[in-house]
Each structure stands twice: as structure tokens, then as C-alpha cells.
Amino acid sequence: MHPMLNIAVRAARVAGTIISRGFENQSDLMTQAKGDNDYVTRIDKEAEQAIISKIKQSYPEHSFVGEEGGLVAGDDDYKWIIDPLDGTTNFIKGIPHFAVSIALMHKGRLDQAVVFDPIRSELFTASKGAGAQLNGFRIRASKARELSQTVLATAFPFKNKAAFPKCLESFSKIYMEAGDIRRCGSAALDLAYVACGRYDGYWESGLKPWDIAGGELLVREAGGLVTDFSGGNDPMKKGEIVAGAPKVVQALVKHLK
């Protein structure tokens, strides 16, 4: 395992312990609203601080971008992108589907990634050029070729409901061609599930870099294709992503352009 990936795994496990304990004690979450249908808890903040602290023990000069803490200045050649608890609404409601997401960008390119589901003890990892793993075993994305054979994943714009009519138009077209579609509430896990072939494809818009950075590298290293809605190759800049089997992504982009 790459040394920086090893540190990221340790940080994700520390955060996972904090999250698991918080999940068992729902009465002490101290939930706050950041915006419409957008929440943060004490656990989100504690988990992010723990991740940064753990990584800084080994790499004190690196910079960080976190969902809760914003930018921590440092060497921009090494930038960690952190979502300490992707799926906070699920977490708050007691739905056991959420994850820690940690990615490292080296000179502007995704280099290492960890997505950790503390409830199922599933650890998804990837290093650029070295493939993707689930609990140490190699994973591969789906090879589906037709939408009719697929189980897909997506999300609705719950933070911007004015965008729902356009979203529903695309959803309706894709739904009529797909085998089935899931909407589970964690972009990081959606992408991890694409990477290991549980989902054949996934699309979502209105995203931040920390929502997708870790999962994007997982899918690429598992042999999947990742684009934005117009077929471009910079989903983090656009805030929108299409991921999955190459033929599936091509079919999805046709409906999303």
C-alpha cells in the first residue's frame, strides 16, 4: 500500500470510530442547519478534525479542503479533500448508509482515495495507476453494455428544489430505458458501489469536490469511465458526474447533455 494511502486509511478508521459511536448515541448529535435541507452535526466536525490531525502527524506541510472546516493552508502540491461524513441526513435519521471520504490530489490530479463505510466495515481504496480494492481485494466496475441490463444510482437536488423539473425530465428518460434506479443518499458510497460493480452507473449534479473526489478515483482505477454531463473529463470543476461502465456512461450522457 502506498504510504500516503496507508495514512489516509488510518485517518478514515479513526473517523469511522467517532461516527459509529455517534450513531449509537443519537440523542447527542447537536444538529445544525447549514442551509435548506443541509445539516451538520457535532460528529461531522469531530470526524473532520480527527482526519486532519491524523494526516498532519505524518504530513504537516500538506494542505486540506474539508466540507466543514474549509481550506487549511499548506503545500498546494499535496491537497487532501475530505468529506468526514457523506450522508449526514441518513446518519441523523438513523439510516445506516453513510461513509468517510478522503482523497489526495498531487499537483492537481487525484492520486489516492479512501471511502470507508464504518457500519459495514467496508474499506474502498485506490492509488493512481495501481487499481482499486475493497477490503484488500481487487474490484472492477461493471461491463454492462445496455441500459436495459442495469441497476443505476442517482440523487435529486434536495438543496435546490427549483432544479427538480429539469432533473425529473432526464430521470424519466433514463428510467424508461434502465433496469432499475436507486437513490440512497451518499455520493461517496454510490461511486464506491459503481467501482465494485454493484451499480452499473451513476449520475448526479450540484456536487462539491469533497462529495466525489474519493469516489471518482475509485471508479477510474476500477476500469470505469467518469465524465461530466457533457462528456468532459473534469466533474469536480463542473459539480456534476456520470460514472460507470463505459457504454452505460455514453448512454447516460446522451440523455443528460
Residues 109-146 have pLDDT tens digits of 999 999 999 999 999 999 999 999 999 999 999 999 99
Q: Where are the alpha helices (DSSP H) in 59-94?
A: 88-93
Four-CA torsion 10, 99, 68, 212, nearest 10 degrees:
100
Whether the predicted pLDDT of 71 surpasses 90:
no
When pLDDT is cut at 50, 70 and 90, the band that residue 34 belongs to is low
Total-model pTM:
0.94
- All 3 cell numbers of residue 232? 468532459
Model confidence over 190-233: pLDDT tens digits?
999 999 999 999 999 999 999 999 999 999 999 999 999 999 99
Residues in the chain: 257
pLDDT for residue 37 is more than 70: no
pLDDT at 38 (0 to 100): 60
The region of weakest confidence among 42-56, 160-174, 236-250 is: 160-174
Over residues 146-162, the mean pLDDT reads 90
d(CA 65, CA 142): 31
Task: Please give the residue that has the higher pLDDT: either 28 or 53.
Answer: 53
pLDDT at 83 over 60: yes
User: Which of 83, 125, 123 is closest to 219 using CA atoms?
Assistant: 125
User: So what's the pLDDT on residue 35?
Assistant: 62
The strand pair at 132-134 and 99-106 is best described as unpaired
8 Å CB contact between 85 and 40: no
pLDDT of amino acid 157: 83
Radius of gyration over every alpha carbon of the chain, rounded to an integer in angstroms: 17
How many angstroms separate the most distant Cα atoms in the chain?
A: 51
Is pLDDT at 103 greater than 70 in this prediction?
yes
More confident residue, 29 or 131: 131
